Every structure is written in C-alpha cells, then in structure tokens.
C-alpha cells in the first residue's frame, strides 16, 4: 500500500495550473485513508518543488507502470489522468487528450460524476490551449451539467469556482476582457461560500493572476498591478517559488512597473525572475507572454541588442507553437477519420450480396428502381418541409399573440378553453417559446446529455409547462422534438457544406448529439424516411444534375 501511495504522489507534481484535475485531486479520499490526508498534502508540496518539469520521462514510466498494475477501474482511471497530466506538462496535447478521453469513458461507465466533471474540464483546457475553442466549449457545457449533479454542496461549489475560472480563460482567449472579469467576480462570490482549505491560496492566486492579465489588456495598469501582487501574496505562504504561475505574475509585475514609471532596475528584476522560471520549463504560453513583453520593454528603452535577442526568441517560439498546434490538430483529425472508417467497414459487404444469381439480380434491380423513385419523393418532401419550417419557432410566438386576440374577441371560445384542466397564460407561453427559440439558436440540443429537466431549467419553468407547450405548439413530445432538431441540423450541414457528405455516419451521429451510430440512423429513418447514406447519395445526385 505504501508503494502504491508513493506512486500516486507523482500525480500531484506534474501541473500546478490545471484547474480541473490536479488541485481537486487532493479532495479525493478514495485512494488514501482519512488519516493519511495531512501527510499526503505535505508530500504533495515536496514533490511539486523537487520534480515539477524536471523528470517527465521518468514520471511517464511510473504512470505507465501504475496503470498496468492497477487492480480496479478507479485506479486505472486515475492512472490514465496521471499520464494525461504529465503529457500536457510537456505540451503533448495529443496524448493528453487521448488518455483523458479513455479516463472519461471509465468515469462514465462507473457513473462517477465528480471524476467526469474533473476530466471534462481537463479536456476542455487541452482544446483551448490547442486553439480549438468551439470544441473545448462543448466540454465546458457538458461539465456544467455534470457539476449540477454533484450532491455535496462544498464540492459542487468548488467545481463551480474552477468552471468559472475556465470560462474566464475562454473569455480571455476570445478577447472578451470585461466578460472574463465578470466570471472572476462571480467565482470570488462562490469561493466565499467554501470553507478555507490548504488549497485556498492557490485557487485565489489563479483568479488574481488572470485578473491581472485581463486588466493589462484593458490598459488598466494600476488594477493590474494590484491583482498581480495579490496573486503573489496568495502563493508566497506555500514557500514554493518554482510554480509556473509565478512566471506570469512576475511578467505582469514587470509590465505594470514599466507602465507605472517605476525604476528600470525594478522592472528588470521582475522580468529576470520571470525569465528564470520560463526558460527552465516547458510552458510555451508563459514564454510567449514573457518574450512579447520583453521585446516591447527593450524597444521602449532603446536596448536594441536585447530587443533583437528576445525578438528572435519570440519569433522561434511562435513558429514552434504554431507548427505544433497545426500538427496536433491534423493528427487528431486523421485519427478520428481512421476510427470512423473502421466502424463502417462492415457496410461494404452489402455491395456483394445477390451478384451470383441473374434472376435475383434482376429482381433486386427492379426493386431498387421502385425504391429509388420512392426515396426521391421522400427526399424532395423532406427538403420542402425543411425549408417551410425554418422559422417555425417565430411563427409559433406570432401564433400565440394572434390566438390571444381571437380568444379576447370570442367569449365563447375563451369560456371553452377555461374548461380545460390545464392552461398556461399567454404571457408565460410567449416567454417560454422565446427561450425555446434561444435554446434552438444556441444549438444546445446537440448536447448528448440534454434532458427535459435541463430545457425546463433553461426556460425558467417546469417540466409540465415544457411538455404542454411542446405538445401544443410543436406537436411533439420532448424526445421527438430534440431528435427532429438534431436531424434538421445534420440536413442543414449536409446541404450547406459538401465536406459533411464525405464524413462517416458515426461522426454525423456524434456531432448531432446521438449516443450511437445505430440510434442516429434509426431516428434519421423515422424523421426523413431514408437512411443517412441514402439521403446523402440522393443529394449528391441531384446536385450534379442541377449543375
């Protein structure tokens, strides 16, 4: 047991700024007895000081051995996340994503909501760092749903803090600096509800450092300086001055010291401390942040030798980072295509059936021709129906207003409707329909875990009202409504983007929120009357004909 615990201690050292995995790991009591927690915290900090970024190859070897010797699914899941965390430490996002997604499958199989929330946040962070913002935000939304299912209020609030910090990073990446500051303010309020723990200062430091960078972008250098100093004060009690976060703090303090007209010696002192941290690790984002500020500083002070030195370092780091991101994105895409191709291999067998007997071949040909004519009719009707129902939600809202006017002018009709056992006021109905329209416009129906309770919460109402409005206005139950939206989303993509027609059916199922290839095909057949491949073939055929 002591050997197993020693191996797990490596997990804590590898990344001090991954919000959803490393920090929350200390709150888990599954691997260690309650009596071991204090000792574990102490060893954790020692490992971070001694090994962070210094022996990644050895750490990967330990993590691999740990996985092979894991005796339970829980230990395997955590071993995978250990390896994923190490790979992200050395900027190998591809393997970090690959292993964390394997861990996510285990967490889903075990129905472990807390670990799902952690891993979803980790995956989102990887996609954000690669530059795939939209893909990362999908995992953020899924993480929101997971966090709300956590029963322990303290843990749920802690995950909400981490989630809001991650949202602030996304706002920063999209240059929405005011929104990022709002997320951090909300995060602070939630954090005030959480009892102080050994990680209190670190969480606060993360928020303050990011707040400082947001203020830098707004050129509010006084508030930026205050935020960076607060971040430093939160970190100093840990007595570990090799945290990568210090690199961002000292870079920010160097920038604000220069802008606030401090002495050149003080500015250089801050930058030198940041440089020592940046160039001793693998954090490319820190290097880009620091080098960019040093280039600006030396240009403004007229030190052209240093300007040239760091301008070249910045150029090389930008080139390396860009090349790596492009390579990673291409690798991820190629792997997805390969996996989807394997899932579709069995489909090709159907092409050889019936070729041996001429009479059967003729019969099949005849039946095929009949079916083609029917499919053509279904295809045309589907497109017609699709075009006619694009503005369905807005028409419904208008219909509610018109119906209200009819009821007011026809007392007999109004009296008859009052006799119904259940009625929603027109004002409430219009509000809910507008929220449903927003739900559709934001494509929230594409989330595989979306439920009627989520839609009711999104519309600020209850399940009973949602069910009635969907039945009365959409003429569907919730399941049919969601499935129809997803199918129409896929049809729109197939119509507007030719590349989607070359994708595998399993990928179309995945992006439209279905749990499996077979479920997607079944629903597509129910809604359209054609299988996805039949619809795509017909669309390609008619497109060529039209051209």
Contact 62/14 with Cβ under 8 angstroms? no
Least confident of 109-113, 340-344, 443-447, 466-470: 340-344
Q: What is the pLDDT of residue 336?
A: 57
Long-range Cβ contact pairs of 272-277 (< 8 A, separation 24 or more): 273/246, 274/246, 274/247, 274/248, 274/249, 274/250, 277/242, 277/244, 277/246, 277/247, 277/250
Interacting residues of 160 by C-beta distance below 8 A, sequence separation 6+: 147, 187, 190
Domains parsed from the chain with CATH numbers: 1-174 (1.25.40), 199-352 (1.25.40.10), 392-546 (1.10.10.60)
pLDDT 10s digits, 44-57: 333 333 443 567 77
Least confident of 122-136, 231-245, 325-339, 437-451: 325-339
Burial of residue 166 (number of CB atoms within 10 Å: 0-12, 13-18, 19+): buried
pLDDT 10s digits, 488-517: 999 988 888 888 888 999 999 999 899 899
Q: Is the pLDDT of residue 390 over 50?
A: yes
Contact 287/279 with Cβ under 8 angstroms? yes
Q: DSSP string covering 429-476, please?
A: HHHHHHHHHHHHHTTGGG-TT--HHHHHHHTTS-HHHHHHHIIIIISS
Interacting residues of 491 by C-beta distance below 8 A, sequence separation 6+: 382, 383, 386, 528, 535
Q: Is the pLDDT of residue 41 over 70?
A: no
Q: Is the pLDDT of residue 400 over 60?
A: no
Q: What is the pLDDT of residue 16?
A: 39
- Find which of 19-28, 359-368, 391-400, 433-442 is predicted with most confidence, using mean pLDDT: 433-442
Q: What is the pLDDT of residue 372?
A: 64
Q: Is the pTM of this model over 0.85?
A: no
pLDDT 10s digits, 124-172: 999 998 888 999 999 999 999 999 999 999 999 999 999 999 999 999 9
Q: Return the residue matching tokens 């930058």.
A: 271
Tell me the average pLDDT of the chain. Answer: 79
How many angstroms from the chain centroid is the CA of residue 174?
14
Enter the tokens of residue 381.
Answer: 């009707």
Residue 470 gets the label, from left (phi > 0), alpha (psi -120 to 50) or beta, of alpha
Contact 164/187 with Cβ under 8 angstroms? yes
Q: What is the pLDDT of residue 373?
A: 60
Round to whole Å and give the CA distance between 260 and 297: 13
Round to whole Å and give the CA distance between 15 and 82: 10
How many angstroms from the chain centroid is the CA of residue 97?
12
Interacting residues of 120 by C-beta distance below 8 A, sequence separation 6+: 20, 104, 139, 140, 142, 143, 146
Spell out the alpha helix ranges (H) of 302-389: 304-344, 358-388
For 274-300, letters b (16+ CB in 10 Å) and e give bbebbeebebbbbbbbbbbbbbebbee
Q: CB count, 10 Å around CB of 30? A: 12
Round to whole Å and give the CA distance between 422 and 244: 60
């Amino acid at each position: 047991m002591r050997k197993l615990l020693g191996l797990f201690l490596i997990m804590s050292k590898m990344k001090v700024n991954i919000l959803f995995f490393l920090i929350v790991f200390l709150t888990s009591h599954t691997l260690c007895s309650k009596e071991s927690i204090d000792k574990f915290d102490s060893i954790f900090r020692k490992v971070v000081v001694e090994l962070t970024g210094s022996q990644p190859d050895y750490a990967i070897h330990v993590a691999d051995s740990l996985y092979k010797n894991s005796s339970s699914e829980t230990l395997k899941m955590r071993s995978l996340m250990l390896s994923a965390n190490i790979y992200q430490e050395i900027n190998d996002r591809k393997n970090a994503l690959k292993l964390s997604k394997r861990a996510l499958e285990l967490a889903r199989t075990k129905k472990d909501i807390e670990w799902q929330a952690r891993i979803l946040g980790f995956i989102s962070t990887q996609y954000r760092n690669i530059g795939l913002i939209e893909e990362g935000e999908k995992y953020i939304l899924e993480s929101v749903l997971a966090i709300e299912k956590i029963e322990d209020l303290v843990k749920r609030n802690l995950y909400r803090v981490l989630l809001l910090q991650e949202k602030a990073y996304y706002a920063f990446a999209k240059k929405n600096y005011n929104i990022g500051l709002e997320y951090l303010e909300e995060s602070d309020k939630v954090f005030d509800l959480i009892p102080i723990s050994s990680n209190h200062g670190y969480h606060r430091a993360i928020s303050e450092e990011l707040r400082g960078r947001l203020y830098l972008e707004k050129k509010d250098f006084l508030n930026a300086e205050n935020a960076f100093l607060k971040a430093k004060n939160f970190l100093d009690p840990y007595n570990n001055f090799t945290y990568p976060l210090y690199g961002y703090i000292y870079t920010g303090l160097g920038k604000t010291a220069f802008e606030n007209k401090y002495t050149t010696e003080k500015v250089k002192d801050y930058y030198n401390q940041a440089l020592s941290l940046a160039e001793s690790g693998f954090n490319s984002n820190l290097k880009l942040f620091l080098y960019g500020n040093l280039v600006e500083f030396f240009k403004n002070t007229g030190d052209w030798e240093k300007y040239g030195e760091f301008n070249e370092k910045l150029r090389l780091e930008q080139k390396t980072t860009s090349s790596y991101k492009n390579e990673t994105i291409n690798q991820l895409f190629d792997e997805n295509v390969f996996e989807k191709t394997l899932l579709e291999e069995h489909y090709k067998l159907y092409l050889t059936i019936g070729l041996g007997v001429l009479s059967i071949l003729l019969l099949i040909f005849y039946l095929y021709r009949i079916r083609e004519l029917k499919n053509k009719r279904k295809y045309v009707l589907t497109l017609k129906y699709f075009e006619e129902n694009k503005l369905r939600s807005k028409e419904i809202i208008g219909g509610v207003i018109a119906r209200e006017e009819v009821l007011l002018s026809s007392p007999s009709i109004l009296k008859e409707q009052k006799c119904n056992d259940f009625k929603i006021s027109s004002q409430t109905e219009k509000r809910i329909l507008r929220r449903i329209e927003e739900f559709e416009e934001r494509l929230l129906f594409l989330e595989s875990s979306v439920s009627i309770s989520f839609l009711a919460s999104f519309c600020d109402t209850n399940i009973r009202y949602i069910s009635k409005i969907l039945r009365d206005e959409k003429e569907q139950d919730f399941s049919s409504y969601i499935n129809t939206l997803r199918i129409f989303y896929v049809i729109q993509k197939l119509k507007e983007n030719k590349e989607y027609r070359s994708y595998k059916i399993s990928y179309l199922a995945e992006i439209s929120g279905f749990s499996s290839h077979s479920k997607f095909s079944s629903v597509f057949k129910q809604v359209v009357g054609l299988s996805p491949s039949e619809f795509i073939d017909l669309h390609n055929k008619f497109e060529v004909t039209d051209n």
